[in-house]
Amino acid sequence: MQNFYIKSHGLGNDYIVLEQDTITFELTKKAIVRICDVHFGIGSDGILLKVPSEVADFGLRILNPDGSEAEKSGNGLRIFSKFLYDHGHTAEKVFTIETLGGVVTAEIVEERKGKAHTIKVDMGKAIFESAKVPVNIEAAECIDKPLHLHDQSFKINCVSVGNPHCVILVDELDEAEVKSYGSDIENHPMFPNRINVQFAKVISPTEVEAMIWERGAGWTLASGSSSCAVAATVIKRGLTERNLTIKMPGGNLRIEIDEDWEIRMTGEVREIASGTLSAELMEDFDTN
Ligand SMILES: N[C@H](CCC[C@H](N)C(=O)O)C(=O)O
């Protein structure tokens, strides 16, 4: 069906799924920004576009609400996996998905008809090498290094899970602090591709609490790749075990990271709505 979409969320981090071969318009920056706008569009933390793949069972492009493209999205991959399974693109419960940040394996762990499913995604490796995050710093790894803003400094830990992350460990989480400094950190010149930002507080050897400022999206209620980055950081710093619960305002994700820094993420996904985009929304979009 032309311009069919679904909207789903992973712990309150919501996405709209579209299919390259059914949309009748160019998914330009203008179209992405409009569709993701809560007033002039459907409203979403991003768009997941189903595309062909030569190297995996499925291909996925991840678009942020500002029109930028991301290499990886943990909640996005779980939402896309549930969409593929629930909407007849596969009868398999384990399949591969190609993203800009590499090929991942997804598994429908628990299917509950007409309810949320639990999805597991092997998210690839955590990479700390500064040049591969990337972060412009002399040191080989950006672990517990200073980042200076005009009126504040932070100690940062940078890691890539396909997309770039800047993790700041704090004794107390403060939503106002995240919203006040998130954008300045996201856009700091140290980060050539900008960066996702997390403030995180270790609760116990198996629990970490985090708040998220996403590259290209801003404050979100949860983030899968951010959870992976936070887990990799606290494990790297020797602060926790390797099997963790990351607690965010929108809910919790299970993250396991093995000795080779391979990351497994498990969590719920719930579909919100489905339908077709109206012609009036797309009136001034570039047509295919
Ligand atoms: N905004 C992120 C992508 C989405 C990440 C988040 N929604 C997740 O679940 O991982 C970026 O530009 O890297």
Residues 103 and 138 in one domain: no
Q: Is the pLDDT of residue 162 over 80?
A: yes
Binding region for substrate:
13, 64, 74-75, 163, 196, 214-215, 224-225
Q: Is the pLDDT of residue 288 over 90?
A: no
Model pLDDT for residues 166-225, shown as the tens digit of each residue: 999 999 999 999 999 999 999 999 999 999 999 999 999 999 999 999 999 999 999 999
Q: Is the pLDDT of residue 111 over 90?
A: no
Taking a C-beta distance cutoff of 8 angstroms, is the pair 143, 201 a contact?
A: no
150 class by beta-carbon count within 10 Å (0-12 exposed, 13-18 middle, 19+ buried): exposed
Residues 141 and 256 in one domain: yes
Residues 15 and 104 in one domain: yes
Tokens read off for 227: 């959870």
Say if pTM beats, i.e. exceeds, 0.95. yes
Count of domains for the chain: 2
Give the residues surrounding ligand 1 with Cβ less than 6 Å away: 13, 45, 62, 64, 70, 73-76, 163, 196, 214-217, 223-226
Q: What is the pLDDT of residue 63?
A: 98
Q: Which helix (H) or strand (E) holds 233?
A: helix 224-236
Q: 239 falls in which pLDDT band (50, 70, 90)? A: very high
Q: What is the CATH number of the domain that holds 110?
A: 3.10.310.10
Ligand 1 pocket mutation pick from 73, 161, 215 by most atoms within 8 angstroms of CB = 73
What integer is the mean pLDDT of 16-45?
A: 98
Q: 25 falls in which pLDDT band (50, 70, 90)? A: very high
Residues 70 and 149 in one domain: no
Q: What is the CA radius of gyration of the chain?
A: 18
Residues 105 and 138 in one domain: no
Residues 80 and 138 in one domain: no
Domain span holding position 66? 4-122+269-284
What integer is the mean pLDDT of 16-32?
A: 97
Residues 178 and 274 in one domain: no
